[in-house]
Chain A
């Protein structure tokens, strides 16, 4: 069975400089995948290039295949048929994501009228139903409201409703809760996870928060310096990471046991994330890794290569790592 999304060797160029390169992964149907990385790791650019929404001056190369079609080669009309219908996106900033001069109901109904042959009233009914699904109280009133009359959390629910409206095959959510209050964050994540399951969609959840991935996503992709450096089922990767960076990330998360913070120094990874165009040659993590050797001057590839069978929704994907000295191998001398 075909994966919902097959990405091979995706690269994003900011002018001549590669911000993302060699990104390859599959997303199986009805599977929830987390894309983890710090800011500047290229996660948002990856998402935008799948949708074809890269800003001016940026370009994407590689292969992004959905439903047998190469997305990066589609014309604007063609990709517009897919956007909002088969692949949809939830953005980070709910406060500015909606048109301030248009009523909520009209904005939700719009996506239905773009992709489905429905009448105005049908679209309205369906929109109200969607607002109910995202658990907005009093959906009728919300339909007629304007965005500025809703809180951030409520607006994000509307955006999620937009993303679900056409029963997409894949929803890409880029840091959907980062801009929200802590108390609201958990609600929205639970909502997202439940609705994705109900609709049978796949989810690509982009975040920097490991705990979020742990609770929502079955699989995880770890990104650093514009490359995927580890991937696999979330539980396996988090229990025994293979890449030194992943290990460092996990060690840096403060552990809270039964509400009591562990009182030891947080582990840090020496150095800082390289800026655009400042990636070291070879392995991007080389300068901050205490396992680096001369071998690391050549760029490691993500192994094993993604293969064709990884499309089944109930089969865990294999573990992959891009490292010459992964943690499950000997420590180099």
Chain B
């Protein structure tokens, strides 16, 4: 088990390294010259050269990369070429919106998906199951931002129950901040919940067919007890895996939802950065997001290996 942890962690580090190289390469090699972009095409070559030197982009690529990575490790993600603001505090600020949103959505989705999925599996081939199948099929087919738009139109605008957008800030009003996260989280959770429900249902159905459930019933457990006491722990294994993988999708989702609801999160910052061609900001923010996803994958892997005893003895 210990050797597995070490190996897995090594893979994590290697993956992070690879990802950072990829992000750096895409943004260093492909686009045009940031200095020209900032100064405009009329700028004199000397000014361009001077700005390039100031920004540090006249150095060899490997040096730039090394500097950037070193800065990341020490907490300094650079300074934006465009706005001259430091990037790290911006990211930190925005994370305070994006992370709670993602967690809330995940929580909502899971809280709905598990009972509904189990219910559907228990009522297999009956009306309840069919209804869940149809609803979840719809849920995975609608774009989350469309759900967000519709929710905004009705719940926020027409009925005025919840805010249509904006975010007051945790410092200003915790309650209002929470309120502005409700509709975005629900929009995300609708889609994620539908996906999760389908997987929970499949996992439970698969488990229900297993021989050890029959053994449990032969011991004298009712169908329901057999499922609860024996089935769920086994069904949890694939469900945990999916939860972890869903997080990447969820983060992608927050990028869009933040734009629907005008939330000052990472996603919104990223999209605005593209307009301004703020490459370093995009670079560092992308790395941060990827790192979060890789960390979650790592944690889920470790959890998964702990939950399933068949994997523990390695």
Contact = CB atoms under 8 A, between A and B. Distances in A.
Direct A–B touching in the complex (beta carbon < 8 Å)?
Answer: yes
Interface of A: 51, 53, 56, 76-77, 80-85, 88-89, 91, 93, 96-102, 110-111, 114-115, 146, 148-149, 159, 162
Given A99-B234, A101-B233, A101-B308, A84 B223 contact: no
9 contacts: A51-B218, A53-B214, A96-B210, A97-B211, A97-B212, A99-B233, A100-B234, A101-B309, A162-B215
A256 B72 CA distance: 79
Contacts of B237: 101
A110 B229 CA distance: 10
Nearest to B224: A76
Contact of A83 (B125, B220, B309, B310): B220
A83 B217 contact: yes
B313 A159 contact: no
A284 B34 CA distance: 88
A82 B214 CA distance: 15
Contacts of B124: 56
Interface residues of B, number: 25
A180 B295 CA distance: 44
B212 A96 contact: yes
Interface string B215-228: 11111111100000
A109 B65 CA distance: 61
B230 interface: yes
Contacts of B219: 83-84, 88, 110-111, 114, 162
Nearest to A79: B220
A91 B309 contact: no
7 tightest A-B contacts by CB?
A: A84-B220, A84-B219, A96-B211, A111-B219, A99-B212, A83-B220, A89-B218
A100 B307 CA distance: 11
B238 to A, nearest CB: 12
Contact of B230 (A81, A91, A99): A99
Interface string B298-313: 0000000001111001
Nearest to A166: B220
Interface in B222-258: 222-223, 229-230, 233-234, 237
Most chain B CB inside 10 Å of its own CB: which residue of A77, A81, A83, A159: A83
Contacts of B233: 99, 101-102
Given A96-B211, A100-B212, A146-B310, A88 B218 contact: yes
B221 A114 contact: yes
A98 B215 contact: yes
Nearest to A93: B211
A114 to B, nearest CB: 5
Given A76-B222, A80-B222, A146-B310, A98 B212 contact: yes
A84 to B, nearest CB: 3
A48 to B, nearest CB: 9
A76 B220 CA distance: 10
A149 B308 contact: no
Contacts of A56: 124-125
A170 to B, nearest CB: 12
A91 B211 contact: yes
A110 B212 CA distance: 13
Given A100-B308, A149-B313, 6 more contacts: A56-B124, A91-B214, A97-B212, A98-B212, A98-B215, A162-B215
B215 A102 contact: no
Contacts of A84: 218-221
Given A101-B309, A146-B309, A146-B310, A85 B214 contact: no
A80 B211 contact: no
